[in-house]
């Protein structure tokens, strides 16, 4: 896969960080980035028009991801965060090879966090069909600690539910309980990776279903921490104390996107636009 707009110019500290996701889930990563890196400008693009990515083919996900990347490269980003587990699983090595800026996914940070929290080396992973099919999390976990037991479960109803704004209540609890029955039947899993950035938006419901004895791992916090480390290593941290004006873009309608951003940030966000992204050069 080739891309014709890879940057060659120098990278400056005040350039923004780009964040991409298949929909609204990556906003959980953005929220954590804002907390840990308050001086950094963020540009977010959520492909809500074509969400969810989980049931799509690997080729579709790769094409859609490069289209988002092309859009953000035009914004002169200094770093890219792939805040979508499915896109991370299918495109991260290619992006890291072809772009001359640091690229971070959400799978490795989540895997490392889960290993730090488990006490019995029995870890569950829930994610989209694409993420589970890729076996990205078991591979990442076993690459660090081969003796781990890992059970994965696809939860295809979760992302559409979140994108519809159903984040709590009886309907949400019913969908989550039904989806997680196979995992609950296994017993003894003490750590559960939320292998999709949409899932932290229904974290309370998931916790209620699996019980307090299971530790839920969201990759958002770990991804933000890794981003901070990489920026520091590459000497790209922005030290400007001026105002930070983040930019938010969606390929879909603004209404529901705005509603969900309010539930995440507990306030309205400025500079939110709906955009059409061009086809990538493949």
**Which sequence positions are flagged as catalytic?**
84, 196
Query: CA torsion 200→177→160→67, rounded to 10°?
Result: 50
Angle between helices 85-98 and 107-117 (to 10 degrees): 120
Cross-sheet strand order for the sheet of 215-218 = 149-154, 122-127, 191-195, 215-218
Q: Smallest Cα–Cα separation from 48: which of 165, 138, 170?
A: 165
How many residues belong to the chain? 282
Indicate the annotated binding residues.
21-22, 53-54, 85-86, 197-198
Indicate the annotated binding residues for substrate.
21-22, 53-54, 85-86, 197-198
116, with CB counted inside 10 A (0-12, 13-18, 19+), is exposed
Q: Find residue 44's DSSP bridge partners.
A: 19, 248
Q: What is the DSSP string of 75-123?
A: TT-SEEEE--HHHHHHHHHHHHHH-SS-EE-SHHHHHHHHHHH-SSSEE
Q: Are 115 and 141 in contact (CB under 8 A)?
A: yes
156, with CB counted inside 10 A (0-12, 13-18, 19+), is middle
Residue 15, phi then psi, degrees to nearest 5:
-70, 150
Q: Are 9 and 147 in contact (CB under 8 A)?
A: no
Q: Are 200 and 220 in contact (CB under 8 A)?
A: yes
């Amino acid at each position: 896969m080739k891309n014709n707009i890879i940057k060659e110019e120098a990278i400056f500290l005040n350039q923004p960080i780009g964040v991409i996701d298949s929909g609204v889930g990556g906003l959980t990563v953005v929220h954590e980035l804002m907390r840990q890196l308050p001086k950094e400008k963020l540009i977010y693009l959520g492909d809500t028009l074509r969400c969810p990515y989980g049931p799509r083919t690997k080729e579709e996900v790769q094409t859609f991801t490069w289209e988002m990347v092309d859009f953000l490269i035009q914004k002169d980003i200094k770093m890219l965060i792939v805040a979508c587990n499915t896109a991370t699983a299918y495109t991260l090595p290619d992006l890291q090879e072809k772009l001359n800026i640091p690229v971070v996914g959400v799978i490795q940070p989540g895997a490392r966090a889960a290993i730090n929290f488990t006490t019995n080396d029995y870890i569950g992973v829930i994610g989209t069909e694409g993420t589970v099919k890729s076996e990205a999390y078991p591979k990442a976990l076993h690459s660090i600690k081969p003796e781990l037991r890992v059970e994965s479960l696809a939860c295809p109803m979760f992302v559409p539910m979140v994108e519809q704004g159903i984040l709590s209540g009886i309907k949400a609890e019913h969908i989550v309980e039904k989806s997680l029955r196979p995992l609950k039947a296994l017993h003894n899993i003490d750590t559960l990776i939320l292998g999709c950035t949409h899932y932290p938006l229904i974290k309370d419901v998931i916790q209620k279903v699996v019980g307090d004895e299971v530790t839920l791992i969201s990759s958002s916090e770990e991804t933000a921490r890794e981003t901070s480390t990489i920026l520091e290593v590459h000497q790209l941290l922005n030290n400007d104390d001026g105002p930070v004006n983040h930019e938010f873009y969606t390929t879909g309608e603004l209404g529901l996107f705005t509603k969900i951003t309010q539930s995440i940030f507990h306030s309205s966000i400025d500079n939110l636009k709906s955009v059409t992204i061009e086809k990538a050069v493949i």
